[in-house]
Amino acid sequence: MDLKRIINDHNPEALQPLEHDGFVFGCHSGVSCFNVCCADLNLMLTPYDVLRMKNHLKIPSEVFLDDYTTNRATGHHGLPMAFLRMKDDEKKRCPFVTDQGCSIYEDRPGACRMYPLGRAATKPDPRLSVKEQFFFVKEAHCTGFGQGREWTVADWQADQGLTEYNFYNDLWMEIITRKVPGPQAAFNPQKFQMFVMASYNLDEFRRFVLGSRFLTLFDLPADLAEKIKTDDLELLKLGMNWLRFSLFGDPTLAIKDSVIKEKKAASEGK
C-alpha cells in the first residue's frame, strides 16, 4: 500500500530505507524473538489475504470477517478496510500464532510474508504502471538480521511466495490509492457496501452476481460467466473490475448492447 499509510501504522523509527539490494536475514524457531512479531499488530488485510485465509479455514467469507476482523475507515475515500483482530489477551497475539509458529503459514497474509521488508505500492493513475518502494521494518525485538543467508529483494519475494500476492494485491491497490477529484471523491453508503462486498465478502459477491441482473447487464465472456461460479480468483478479478467501473467510471466492464438499446428506447418513450 502507500508509504504514508504504512508509516502511520508503524513506529516510523522502525522503517529504514534499503540502501542496497542485498541483506542478510533468517527467521526460524531457534531465534530468541520467534513469534514475538506476531502480536499487537495493526495489520490491514487485502482481499487476497482474506480469500486465502478463509479458504484455509474452510469457512464462509462472512464468518471469517465476523470472527477475525475489525473494520476501520481509511484511505483517500474513507473506505472501510478489514484489519486482523488480535486476541483479547495481555500480549494481543495474532489469533493464528501458536508456540510452534503460524497455524495458517501456507496461507498467511502478504505483509507477514514480506517481513522484514515492507513494500509501498501506488497506482493513482490507471494509465501509469505500478510504482513500488521497498524498505526494512527493523523492530527492536527482531534478532533475525545478520543471521541466515544473503537475499536480494527479488529472491526474498520469490522465496516467500509473493508473486501471486503482489499481483492480486496490486489490483486492489489501484482502487484504494486512486485519487479522483470532484463529486466522485465522496462515496455514498451504498458504494461503501459495494466496496466491502467485492473486496472482502466474495461469497456474498458471488450470490449477488449470480442472483441479480449482473450477468444480463454486463457483456462478459461466456467462459468467464461460467468460471465465476466456482473460481474464486476469477471472481476476485471481476470484483476489482466492477469496483473500478462503479466507483470511478473506468471502462473495465462493458454494458450489453441490448441493455443500451433498451434504455435508449425507454428514454425516447418508445
**The pLDDT of residue 261:** 85
**The pLDDT of residue 8:** 41
Identity of residue 137: V
Question: 105 near 215, Cβ under 8 Å?
Answer: no
In the predicted model, residues of the chain with pLDDT beneath 50 are: 1-10
**The pLDDT of residue 182:** 58
Q: At what angle do helices 47-57 and 202-211 cross, to 10 degrees?
A: 100
pLDDT digits (tens, 9 = 90+) for 137-174: 888 889 999 888 999 999 999 999 999 999 999 999 98
pLDDT digits (tens, 9 = 90+) for 219-241: 999 999 999 999 999 999 999 99
**The pLDDT of residue 120:** 87
Residue 186: other Cβ atoms inside 10 A: 10
Matching residue, cell 496490486: 170
Spans of all domains in the chain: 3-176, 183-267
Residue 102: closest CA among 34, 43, 168: 34
